[in-house]
Structure 1
Amino acid sequence: MSTLRTALLNAALTIEEQKPWPRITVDADTWRQATLAIAAGNATLAGLWAEPGAVHMAVLDDEDGALMVLTLAAPDGRFPSVGLTHPPAQRLERAIADLHGLIPEGMPDDRRWLDHDRWGVRAPLGAADKVPADGAPYPFLKAEGPPLHQIAVGPVHAGIIEPGHFRFSANGEIVVRLEERLGYVHKGIEGLLADTTLEAAAKVVARVSGDSTVAYSLAFARAAEAALGVAVPQRAVWLRALMAELERLANHLGDIGAICNDAAFALMLAHCGMLREEVLRASKVAFGHRLMMDRIVPAGVASDLSDAAPIKALTARIRQRFPRLVELYDNTASLQNRTVATGHLTPELARRFGTGGPVGRASGRAFDARKAPGYPPYGDLDFKMATREDGDVDARIWVRIDEVYESLELIEQIVDRLPAGPIAYPLAPALRERRVPQAGGLAHEPRDSATEGLAMVEGFRGDVLVWLRTDETGRVLRGAVRDPSVFQWPLLEAAIEGNIVADFPLCNKSFNCSYSGHDL
């Protein structure tokens, strides 16, 4: 156990029943000390969310990947700002202020974030004061000095993509500053997760960001299982990993082609798009849904794999065709001219923001939730973490290329070693009793209070975090989710500075942040 984690546990006012990592209640001084430790690089901010009268901060221990949640009561509606000393928290704090009306004291940026002055109410999850919906203009930050000019892009874009506004300050073609305005696809996820059934909550979380539906469903299921003490059949554990790697494979293939297309190399888009389509069709055959939505459920999976032959045929075809595409990318000088040294993200920023997935690993941050904190069955599987150091568009492509090969390897291992047995356990008994696996079977202990669960899993963009509180019947009382894009969107602003305006689509696609996953 790290020194920081030990100090926090010793300073805890109370330790709550949260599985598998503790949630501790702290005072304002301990909260500030934890914030300073995160800002100094001794730990990583993994999440920040609120409920009426309290704010929660998830902290990732960089030494061993363990998580801890700190809770600070805010009875007067205020709490010490994390973003004051740690900028990655600023947008999360602004979202808390918009949704709950809790004010971070000393926050450097108090502009509304998710609230676009269209709701007709302030703090809908808090006091919910009614206000006129006037749609006041958003006060973008100024970049002054001749001969700067501004370029406004979005929120409606030319392609079939989600809405987001980008305000460029440029000197000729050189971008001096980029500022994002997001929140257009806010869906009220936290409100939808309050006081609802486990089944309904699972469907909500599965739809936070459709291209990551497997990752979100897995994180939700693991959080719910931790809270309820529910066991999962081994066959289901391995089937979940199979679905996760199919989702990762499809999205990486799509991203590689799309990045090249934004550099006017449409041939890669066509070929990678065909491979991605084959993955989606194989997923449909194997699990009954192209995106495998709602196929992972608490206590197991909803669909079994009756025939592994289509999956084996899929990996064989990709292994035959994908290396030729990699060679094409690597040997096309005009394409390399657009991707190499474009959109550079420094390792220091990647570490400071705790960014995961290909964005972080392409800038030297060797973090993969499958490795640490880790979850089954990845501890029994052989795979390498793909990392690069250059932090440019080219590096982000190569990380995805390497991960395509690793996912192919993982899929083949899973299919070859898939255990027999049931694919789900009955959930109803667990809603009345806590299941604790012991030698010789399941011992039962009566449930007498609400419990909480926390889970982090690796999606194709990076780590997905889900926190749940359930009552003795298994009903979800509260929940919070955090998409990897939350810590990646701000870094896109940094990566584009000094590049030409025409390179923004290329940089943007190499990040491929989720609007929907961010806006919640």
Structure 2
Amino acid sequence: MTASWITTFIGQLALQGVNVQEETATGLAPARTWWIGAEDWGRLAQQARILNCRWVAAWGEDSGEKIIVSACFEKDGIYLIVRAHVEYATPILTSHAACFAAADRPERHIQDMLGIAFIDHPDARRWTRHQAWKDSEYPLRRNFPVDGNPPARAAPDDDYRFLHAHGAGVYEIPVGPVHAGIIEPGHFRFQAVGETVLNLEERLGYAHKGIEKIAVGRDAAGLARLAGRVSGDSTVAHAWAACMAMEKAAEIRVPERALTLRAIMAERERVANHLGDVGAICNDVSFSFGFHQFARLREAWQRLSQEAFGHRFMMDGIIPGGVLTDIGDRAAVAMQKQIDSMRKELDGLYDILDDLPSLEDRLDTTGYLSPETARIYGALGYVGRASGIAFDVRRDAAYAPYDQMTVEVPVFDQGDVTARVQVRAREILASFKLIEKMIAETPGGAVGSIGTEWKLPAAGAEGLGLIEGFRGEILAYVRFGEDGRIARYFPRDPSWLIWPTLEKLVRDNIVPDFPVCNKSINGSYSGHDL
């Protein structure tokens, strides 16, 4: 696919003396793939910023001879992957964070995992590693064992330099990483005056599982199962992204019926999470009625998912080449009846949410995220759409079966908690329509046309998966080694892009509103920490 901005980009880089070598990488299509010199990495980011590209992700790989670093950009639904070789002796690159704030933490992750130093990066502190490994150890290097070299007891991370605020009446509030509820671990450090938040700084990484390392050596089925556990509430979307990448690498065509079943599962995952989030937001402002009603609807929704697909979260339902479980007429009828019933109930609940003064008082103008800030950090999904950013992979970089459907993308510009609730509420109804269309028109012939026999990809084959999860765009990169085993897997959850926005939108709010601001973002600790 040709895009005018790609041509402009190449021309502008040429004027800067940057030599671009375009590579034909079938498995990465429709993304374009370039190679540039490591010395040109910074100029690349500068030109991408001038062209208003969106910074999507970055990852590295130890090739055995050099380190390969890749960065992904997007504009107008067209993706571009740019790569450079970095020498072991001088593992240095210019940071993209000066041009794209979204690159800040991902670059720190690459620094921690592969030992690349990013020149002019605004923050040299460890991010993922904490104190688990020595300064000379890089877990994603080939010479680092998968089970590591753990000390008898890891040193406490008590010298992490949080920002300090000084002045009359300024005080500090540490929250976490262990919380009172059952959520995953994350640390939040507040500076406040009275009840007003001056600054919030996050410290994540406590849920680090070594996903990238333990993926190496797995077969395709094993990677699909691992991908489904990157973030448990997005198990369908992450597994689909990983399988899409592997299927591109193996040049396998997935049956239309299987693709439709994948989409039904993905939309059911979206609805379940949005129902849970709306209820949890109600709970954080003590509207218990709303919490229990939405929790009840989510429970009923997930029980039908279990009946239809064998698991409440539909975990392991997507496999390389297709899906594990088909649905028959009985399940299709049950889904339609459930949608009919739930649509009526939600109409009444939405009216209550819209008309309740106490909710309006707590949610309107709370946690405001400006469209400019959302754009700077690359926030998509319900966070971006509540602040005027309409991008949706299903529509704007469409993949099957969404490329044959009309995807409604609700967008608001208020940028507050109310807007993030409204996006979720409207997305539930839009997903109902998509599911109805898919169960009425499920293609592919007879029940059972749900998979293609897997074939081993050639060594070095690679693939890129891009899926719209309930939080937004999910990226998965896969490269195969010998014997059809995984040599590199990198998943980028939307949480990498939305967690930083929480630090911005909570400023000037009162401390008691932090929980509802946090829930309105609902970043995944697990999806971020890898």
* Superposition TM-score, scaled by structure 2 size: 0.91
Runs of 4+ in 1 over 6 A off after TM superposition: 129-132
Query: Cα deviation per residue 1:404-424 (whole Å; 9 max; x = unaligned)?
Result: 110111111111111234433
> Residue 25 in 1 paired to residue 19 in 2?
no
Amino acid at match of 1:339: L
Instruction: Kindly provide the CA deviation profile for residues 442-470 of structure 1, in whole angstroms up to 9, marking residues without a partner as x.
Output: xxxxx5x5211111111111111000012
> 3-state SS of the aligned residue for 2:514?
helix
Segments of 5+ residues of structure 2 without an aligned counterpart are: 12-18
Alignment of 1:86-97 (within 5 A): 86-97=100-111
Aligned positions of 1:340-489 closer than 5 A: 340-419=364-443, 420-421=445-446, 422-428=448-454, 430-431=455-456, 447=458, 449-471=459-481, 473-489=483-499
Query: 1:12 corresponds to which residue?
Result: 20
TM-superposed deviation, 1:353: 1.6
Q: SS of the counterpart of 2:397?
A: helix
The letter of the residue matching 2:236 is V
Q: Give the whole-Å Cα distance in 1 for the aligned partners of 2:92 and 2:401.
A: 42
Aligned equivalent of 1:71: 83
Q: 2:138 is aligned with what amino acid?
A: A
Alignment partner of 1:286: what SS? helix
Contact 2:379 2:497 in 1 (8 A): yes
How far the C-alpha of 1:167 sits from its partner, in A, is: 0.3
2:255/2:452 contact within 8 Å kept: no
1:438: which partner in 2?
none
Q: Which residue of 2 aligns with 1:134?
A: 155
Aligned residue type for 1:424: I
- Deviation of 1:294 (Å): 0.7
Correspondence for 1:440: none
Per-residue displacement from partner, 1:106-147 (whole Å, max 9, x unpaired)?
Answer: 211000011110345731223659797432421111222222
1:374 Cα offset (Å): 1.2
Instruction: Give the secondary structure class of the aligned counterpart of 1:61.
Output: strand
Partner SS for 2:484: coil
Q: Deviation per CA, 1:171-224, whole angstroms, max 9, x where unpaired?
A: 110000000000000011110122321111111111000000010011111111
Distance 2:9 2:490 in 1: 22
Deviations 1:58-108 (A, max 9, x none): 433322x12121111110211111113322111111111111111112211
Residue 69 of structure 2: which of 12, 32, 56 is its match? 56
How much does 1:28 deviate? 3.1
- Select between 71-80 and 500-509 the one with higher mean Cα deviation: 71-80
Which residue number in structure 2 is paired with residue 116 of structure 1? 130
- Amino acid in the other structure paired with 1:427: E
Q: Deviations over 1:288-339 (max 9, x none)?
A: 1111011111111010002212111210111121111101101110111000
Q: Distance in 2 between matches of 1:147 and 1:320?
A: 51
How far apart in 2 are the matches of 1:97 and 1:278?
A: 44
Cα distance between partner residues in 1 of 2:474 and 2:491? 8
Q: Secondary structure at the match of 1:155?
A: coil
The count of aligned residue pairs is 503
In the alignment, what sits opposite 1:82?
96
Q: CA deviation at 1:474?
A: 2.9
1:157 aligns with 2:179: yes
- Is 1:101 the counterpart of 2:105? The answer is no
Equivalent residues in 2 for 1:156-305 (5 A)? 156-305=178-327
Structure-to-structure mapping, 1:42-53, within 5 angstroms? 42-52=52-62, 53=66
Alpha-carbon distance in 2 for matches of 1:300, 1:40 = 41
CA deviation profile, 1:333-378 (whole Å, cap 9, x unmatched): 0111000000000101111221111000000001111012111111
Q: Which runs of 5+ in 1 are unaligned?
A: 433-446
Q: Alignment RMSD, CA only?
A: 1.9
| 2:9–2:47 CA contact under 8 A, matched in 1 | no
CA drift of 1:261 comes to: 0.8
Question: Could you tell me how far apart the structure 1 residues matched to 2:61 and 2:8 are?
Answer: 25
